[in-house]
Amino acid sequence: MASRTRAGSLGSIESKHGLVGSVSRWWTRSYTSDWVAFSLLLVGYIYIAAFVEPFHRLFTINDIRISFPHAEVERVPLAHLFGYVLFLPLALLTLTNYLLSSPRHIHHLTTLGFLTSIILTTFLTDLIKNMVGRPRPDLIDRCQPDPSTPPNKLVSVEVCTQTDHHTLHDGWRSFPSGHSSFAFSGLGYLALFWCGQFRVFASSSPLSSSPGIMEGMEKVLVRRDLLKALLCLSPLLGALMIAISRCMDYRHDVEDVCVGAVMGWVITYWSYRRYWPRLSSVRCEEPYSGMTGERDGDGVQSSGRYGRVRDEEEGVIGGGFQRNVGTFDLTAPVELGPLESPR
């Protein structure tokens, strides 16, 4: 009942004339809310990175676990990380869509999903880093404690003589690993996108027509190409190498890297599934329905709106597949449209 009331109230607002109705229709029928949320996350991340200092846990100067040398030159410095995880995957995503002759709507959703994954991962990672305040394995070398500091006694950041502000305070940002979460977020999204576009896990090919659904499924079951699967796996291998390098530089412990990797993968999968079906779907290479007024690959105007989908991502209509996508008015009869055209 609450869902019907909410759907009816939204529909009444959209049906209004004037500025309120125009803004409501524009807001609900576009991806503006997604870009606004992205902008808010970006502002939040910039604020955390620029102004927030981490919680400083107490430590002892003779703790062997935080007495590793501080590497002045990292194996994957921050500038290289942005190249490997942000710019390279974004270029490969764009190139893939270009080679597949994807319509403008798919280019848009690919970029939006990728950037959402990146910014949400970095925001949450930095937020957790500062709240946990776990010392890095090289904290003592960063801190350069005063020679008069007693051993076997808990001390605070006040005993440190390090004058470089970032080097000192970054020593309490060990958990989780930002390089690991960032790598699995960006490169993980590329791996998921390639798996969907190359149909690596799809159990069947799209059906144009068939006398019966079971007979059609029996006819289209196919074996997948190992070469394509390995290509889709390569971004994850790159992310793994970046994560391992953080242990080699004594920037993180193993648990920091593992939690960061899992965190980045979970967020990127969540971001991917907001716009794309599951990888085993028969239509895994197609995004969910576009906005009102968008045109698909064949130039046909779409009447659906972006929104949640049912648990069954493909419905059976007359022996074929129909995509259950878009937002439906629960107070009005459901009218089934034509199949979404492939590329």
User: Are the beta carbons of 135 and 171 closer than 8 angstroms?
Assistant: yes
Contacts of residue 4, Cβ cutoff 8 Å, sequence gap at least 6 = 330, 331
pTM of the model: 0.78
Which stretch of DSSP H or E encloses residue 321? Answer: strand 320-323
User: Are the beta carbons of 89 and 235 closer than 8 angstroms?
Assistant: yes
- What confidence category does residue 221 fall into, taking pLDDT thresholds of 50, 70 and 90? low
What integer pLDDT is reported at residue 29 of this predicted model?
72
**How confident is the model over 79-98, as pLDDT tens digits?**
999 999 999 999 999 999 99
Which stretch of DSSP H or E encloses residue 121? Answer: helix 104-132
What are the residue ranges spanned by the domains of the chain?
Answer: 26-282
Average the pLDDT over 284-297 and give the result: 63
**How confident is the model over 137-196, as pLDDT tens digits?**
999 999 999 999 999 999 999 999 999 999 999 999 999 999 999 999 999 999 999 999
Task: Tell me the C-alpha distance between 295 and 299, whole Å.
Answer: 5
**How confident is the model over 8-63, as pLDDT tens digits?**
454 555 555 667 766 666 677 788 899 999 999 999 999 999 999 999 999 999 99
Q: What does the DSSP assignment read for 169-216?
A: HGGG--SS-HHHHHHHHHHHHHHHHHHHHTTSS-SBPPPS--SSHHHH
Contacts of residue 261, Cβ cutoff 8 Å, sequence gap at least 6 = 177, 180, 181, 183, 184, 239, 240, 243
CA 27 to chain centroid: 23
Percent of the chain with pLDDT over 90: 65
